[in-house]
Amino acid sequence: MDLYGRLLSKVLFPGWERLRGRSTTELLGYLHETERASAADHEALQSGLLRRLVRHAYRHTAHYRELMDAAGLSPEDIRSPADLTRLPLLEKHIARATGETRTSTAPPFAQVIKTTSGTTGTPMIVKYNAESRVWRDATRWRGYGWAGYQPGMKAFHWWGVLATQAAGWKKYKVELDHLLRRDHYMDCSPRDDAHLQRAVETVRKLQPEVMLAYAQGAASLARYVQRTNGRSWNSFPVITGAERLWPHDREAMQAAFGPDVYETYGCREVMLIGSECEAHDGLHLSMENLICELIVREHGTTRPARPGETGEVVITDLHNLAQPLIRYVGGDSAVARTPGPCRCGRTLPRIGPIEGRVTDTLHDGKGNPVNGLLFSILFVSVVEHTRQFQIFQKKTGEISLRVVPAVAGGKMPPEAEQLAHSFIRKYLPGVPMTIDYVDDIPVGNAGKRHIVVVEK
């Protein structure tokens, strides 16, 4: 890094975090120690945090008190991660419906409120406290650090952009923050050649030290770079997320940007769940921040997935006391792995590959591919008006925006419909679109309600 980068990494970033009352850098140092701790130490850490979480949830949330009373359980019955199976799964629709009754009536109260992007068609409101925020930030920086990304580096974020942007002084505040942190954001949703060429020109001008990207967005850009022989930069690491990183996509990115390509896995409800290290052999779990179960449902019961078997991802957030999330089923699946240390020397458990995160690709009026994931971003802006949604592209190219309105028999307000039409015109020019209000959107064969369906 140059002089400013080193100053930002060593002085400005740590100082700013302390000024805001966040122990991010200190916690990051602790995480670098625990990532090589013994399995017994890992279990002891998770067990202690789990007991605290369950006690708090029982005493201060109506949902978990009623749930545990109905099951004849007390907080003392949940002593370790193995005991979690005594509690029922928190399905996504239940999590969404119980947002208020899962919210704690005692400190620590929520300091951050977010809306999930709703990649399974059903967004929800997520709240978490200050402690949880610091753990999420520190865990993220540790995972990014395995890929070589440190605060202070020039970063190109080839990412999704919210449909509703900040305005007024907030817009300038965000832009200033990005400038000082050396973060350059660009919308990866359009995949036409003109937009990809602008991205190439941005990379040439910026000369980033790291790139963070939607996996399919980075793959499309990489193939464009190869097709146009556009590479004119030195290698830099690429950190992917939001979608599964397929082997052929990794190869394209390595050719376009350099050999260091890393996969991460997370969700807005808990942020970073797993990260790939330099061994590229599965994803290390953020086990100090959450408990990740992989379960298989069969014959009306559930069991842990066996090594090599695909299971549903079930998450317990250990530090969110403001709105506890215990045994949450987010709709993803992953392959279980045999326990044991990684070649990198870290002892954190691993999962992977991740399944079920790839969104179908749409096409605009000229046949250009467009990332379907952008529509989950659109619905963050209209979540209060909808319960479910789905984008359906017919063989003819026409788009049906299927919406289950928040009020039965109702519709989205005109301004929300206009936002949807504007979004379609921007990202799928030349494609006719209708908004169709329906009572329900059925799940697919795998039991997941897909946000994007392309008729074959």
Residue 55, CA distances (Å) to 129, 130, 321 in order? 17, 19, 10
Flag whether pLDDT at 38 surpasses 50.
yes
pLDDT at 243: 80
Taking the model in full, what pTM does it have? Answer: 0.83
Rounded mean pLDDT, 363-369? 89
pLDDT value of residue 165: 60
Q: Determine the Cα–Cα distance for residues 110 and 132; give it in Å rounded to an integer.
A: 10
pLDDT of residue 202: 97
**pLDDT of amino acid 445:** 47
Size of the chain in residues: 456
8 A C-beta contact, residue 388 and residue 437: no
The reply to whether domains 15-134+268-355 and 361-454 share a CATH topology is no
Between 195 and 376, residue with greater pLDDT: 195
Q: Is the pLDDT of residue 285 over 90?
A: yes
For the stretch 207-255, pLDDT in tens is: 999 999 998 889 989 999 999 999 999 999 999 998 888 888 999 999 9
Task: Answer yes or no: is pLDDT of 258 > 50.
Answer: yes
Which residue, among 213, 313, 206, has the nearest Cα to 262 in the 3D structure?
Answer: 213
CA neighbor of 446 nearest in space, from 357, 351, 353: 357
Q: How confident is the model at residue 446 (pLDDT cuts 50, 70, 90)?
A: very low
The whole-number average pLDDT for the span 318-328 is 98
Contacts of residues 259-263 at CB distance under 8 Å and 24 or more positions apart, as own/partner, are 259/235, 260/147, 260/148, 260/235, 260/236, 261/237, 262/146, 262/147, 262/237, 262/238, 263/215, 263/352, 263/354
pLDDT in tens, 5-34: 999 999 999 999 999 999 999 999 999 999
- CATH of 15-134+268-355 given 3.20.20.70, 3.40.50.12780, 3.20.20.140, 3.20.20.10: 3.40.50.12780
- Fold of the CATH domain 148-259: Rossmann fold (3.40.50)
Residues 6+ apart with CB under 8 A from 247: none
State the pLDDT at residue 118.
Answer: 60
Q: What is the DSSP string of 118-183?
A: -TTS---EEEE-HHHHHHHHHHHHHHHHHTT--TTS-EEEEE---SS---HHHHHHHHHHHHHHTE
Q: Where are the domains positioned within the chain? A: 15-134+268-355, 148-259, 361-454
Burial of 234 (0-12, 13-18, 19+ CB in 10 A): exposed
**Mean pLDDT, residues 169-194:** 86
Q: What is the CATH number of domain 361-454?
A: 3.30.300.30
